[in-house]
């Protein structure tokens, strides 16, 4: 697959349709709240929940997480700036690697594929996943819990690419830029950075495949950075430039955005402003009930399988406990196939309710280093790190 793309017109058609539909609802698409959303189909994607159309922000409906692996067309989409790549020709595309290096590399996809191939499954999750549940509410994309997915990534080690360029002494950070460009000079280009020691970790890859196939353009074709265990803000899509820096990176998206309070929980009292902040990094531990879905009716005296997922920022899940009585009593769920420490694990719990009434189902995960989930949402001003124990109400009849 040498050249892929959709025309700007096709994208705009979808986007314009979405905007028109929003306008008909009397809504400004960028200020929609979670309960006012609708499904749209963008190029190469299935029907996803629309948050904004320019730039595209599309959320995965929860029922897709019944599958252990999130399909390419179902994975959420998030771009920051409106000028996103709509076609890429691999005959022209090159990954430039330079800065504080011995040589400057201009790697074609063929060149990249000469490095040792690495494959693993890792959860991709937006820092703002779950933001719509924050109390008090915070500004930003009003995601429910669908800004995540469990994907098998294939690519080559960033470390191998950096070593091929030869890192000079005194290197501090490495920055990553993609094909998307700001529409106006006043908008900062989306560029992210990692400290050099982090960038040299074995598991960070430049991926060119998702689930054994090419990436949809909206998810970063032809290659993106994967920083497993860390939030997806670092997973720069449609990568074109890697720059080794002899000083700290000063770009907006690290210096001013995507920062969390510098406290052990990354949280502060609701409504306050943090004294000091640090760049967001590792994901918190989470679990989610996928089935039964919220508010479904279940027959009494019949065994129901409660199933869901659990993951944490690079540590395997040790235990998931389930409550069917709103948190009064807890039982252990059975864990499914282990796909490695960066993947999510599915779990299940068989439940046979006798009494017809409302039930509150809850799941709580703990990882191998003892990190778990709070019962009340922890607060920070940007709406990051959401990992409260969620409640699913069902009715037995």
Ligand X SMILES: Nc1nc2c(c(=O)[nH]1)N[C@H]1C(S)=C(S)[C@@H](COP(=O)(O)O)O[C@H]1N2
Using CA atoms, how far apart are residues 330 and 325, in angstroms rounded to an integer?
A: 8
Confirm or reject binding of residue 150 to ligand X (CB under 6 A): no
Confirm or reject binding of residue 77 to ligand X (CB under 6 A): yes
Confirm or reject binding of residue 80 to ligand X (CB under 6 A): yes
Is residue 233 within 8 Å of 192, Cβ to Cβ? Answer: yes
| Piece of 122-130, 149-157, 277-285, 333-341 that binds Mo ion (CB under 5 A) | 122-130
Using CA atoms, how far apart are residues 317 and 325, in angstroms rounded to an integer?
A: 23
Using CA atoms, how far apart are residues 232 and 69, in angstroms rounded to an integer?
A: 17
Return the one option of Mo ion, ligand X, none that residue 27 interacts with (CB less than 5 to 8 A, by type): none
Say how many residues touch ligand X, by CB under 6 A.
Answer: 19
Return the one option of Mo ion, ligand X, none that residue 97 interacts with (CB less than 5 to 8 A, by type): none
Element (H, E) at 110: helix 109-112
**Cα 63–Cα 67–Cα 71 angle in degrees, nearest 5:** 95
| Piece of 16-24, 65-73, 227-235, 387-395 that binds ligand X (CB under 6 A) | 227-235
Instruction: Report DSSP letters for 125-162, one per residue.
Output: E-TTTTGGG-SS--SS----S-SEEEEEEEEEEHHHHH
Return the one option of ligand X, Mo ion, none that residue 75 interacts with (CB less than 5 to 8 A, by type): ligand X
| The pair of three-digit structure tokens given for residue 28, joined into one six-digit string | 């400004």
Using CA atoms, how far apart are residues 316 and 308, in angstroms rounded to an integer?
A: 16
Using CA atoms, how far apart are residues 280 and 100, in angstroms rounded to an integer?
A: 25
Return the one option of Mo ion, ligand X, none that residue 351 interacts with (CB less than 5 to 8 A, by type): none
Using CA atoms, how far apart are residues 339 and 200, in angstroms rounded to an integer?
A: 23
Q: Which is nearer to ligand X, 211 or 316 (CB)?
A: 211
In whole angstroms, how far apart are CA 238 and each of 9, 94, 223? 20, 10, 5
Return the one option of Mo ion, ligand X, none that residue 220 interacts with (CB less than 5 to 8 A, by type): ligand X
Q: Which is nearer to ligand X, 182 or 274 (CB)?
A: 182
Instruction: Report DSSP letters for 152-189, one per residue.
Output: EEEEEEHHHHHHHH-BPTT--EEEEEES-B-SSTTSPP
Q: Nearest distance from residue 79's CB to ligand X, in Å?
A: 4
Confirm or reject binding of residue 232 to ligand X (CB under 6 A): yes
Q: Nearest distance from residue 141's CB to Mo ion, in Å?
A: 8
Residue with the CB atom nearest ligand X in the bound state: 178
Q: Nearest distance from residue 382's CB to ligand X, in Å?
A: 12
Residues 108-137 that bind ligand X (CB under 6 A): 124, 126
Residue with the CB atom nearest Mo ion in the bound state: 126
Q: Nearest distance from residue 232's CB to ligand X, in Å?
A: 4
Tokens 């495949």 locate to 209
Q: Nearest distance from residue 328's CB to ligand X, in Å?
A: 36
Is residue 320 within 8 Å of 335, Cβ to Cβ? Answer: yes
Return the one option of ligand X, Mo ion, none that residue 45 interacts with (CB less than 5 to 8 A, by type): none
| Piece of 232-240, 295-303, 316-324, 384-392 that binds Mo ion (CB under 5 A) | 232-240
Give the contacts of 252 (CB within 8 A, at least 6 positions apart): 188
Tokens 């074995």 locate to 202
Nearest C-alpha neighbor of 236 from the set 175, 311, 284: 175
* Near Mo ion by CB under 5 A: residue from 40, 48, 62, 126: 126
SS3 254: helix
Confirm or reject binding of residue 384 to ligand X (CB under 6 A): no
Q: Which is nearer to ligand X, 78 or 364 (CB)?
A: 78
Residues in touch with Mo ion (CB under 5 A): 126-127, 233
Site residues for ligand X per CB under 6 A? 75-80, 124, 126, 178, 180, 190, 219-220, 232-233, 235-238
């Amino acid at each position: 697959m040498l050249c892929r793309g959709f025309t700007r017109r096709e994208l705009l058609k979808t986007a314009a349709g979405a905007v028109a539909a929003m306008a008909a609802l009397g809504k400004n698409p960028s200020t929609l709240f979670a309960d006012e959303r609708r499904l749209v189909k963008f190029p190469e994607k299935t029907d996803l929940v629309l948050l904004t159309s320019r730039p595209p922000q599309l959320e995965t409906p929860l029922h897709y997480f019944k599958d252990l692996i999130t399909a390419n067309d179902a994975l959420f989409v998030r771009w920051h700036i409106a000028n996103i790549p709509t076609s890429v020709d691999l005959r022209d595309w090159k990954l430039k690697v330079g800065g504080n290096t011995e040589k400057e590399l201009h790697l074609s996809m063929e060149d990249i594929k000469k490095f040792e191939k690495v494959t693993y499954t890792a959860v991709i999750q937006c820092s703002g996943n779950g933001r719509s549940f924050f109390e008090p509410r915070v500004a930003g994309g009003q995601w429910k819990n669908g800004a995540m997915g469990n994907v098998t990534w294939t690519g080559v080690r960033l470390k191998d690419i950096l070593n091929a360029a030869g890192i000079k002494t005194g290197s501090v950070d490495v920055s990553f830029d993609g094909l998307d460009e700001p529409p106006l000079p006043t908008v900062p280009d989306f560029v992210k950075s990692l400290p050099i020691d982090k960038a040299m970790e074995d598991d960070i890859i430049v991926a060119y495949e998702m689930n054994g196939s090419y990436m949809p353009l909206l998810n970063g074709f032809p290659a993106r950075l994967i920083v497993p265990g860390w939030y997806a803000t670092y997973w720069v899509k449609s990568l074109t430039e890697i720059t080794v820096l002899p000083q700290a990176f000063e770009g907006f998206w690290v210096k001013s955005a995507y920062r969390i309070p510098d406290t052990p929980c990354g949280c502060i009292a609701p409504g306050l402003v943090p004294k000091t902040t640090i760049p967001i990094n590792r994901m918190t531990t989470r679990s989610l009930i996928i089935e039964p879905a919220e508010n479904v009716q279940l027959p009494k005296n019949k065994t129901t399988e409660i199933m869901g997922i659990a993951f944490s920022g690079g540590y395997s899940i040790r235990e998931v406990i389930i409550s069917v009585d709103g948190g009064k009593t807890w039982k252990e769920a059975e864990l499914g196939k282990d796909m490695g420490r960066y993947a999510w694990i599915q779990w299940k719990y068989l439940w046979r309710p006798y009494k017809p009434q409302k039930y509150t189902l809850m799941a709580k995960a703990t990882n191998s280093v003892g990190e778990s989930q709070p019962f009340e949402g922890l607060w920070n001003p940007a709406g990051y790190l959401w990992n409260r124990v969620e409640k699913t109400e069902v009715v037995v009849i």
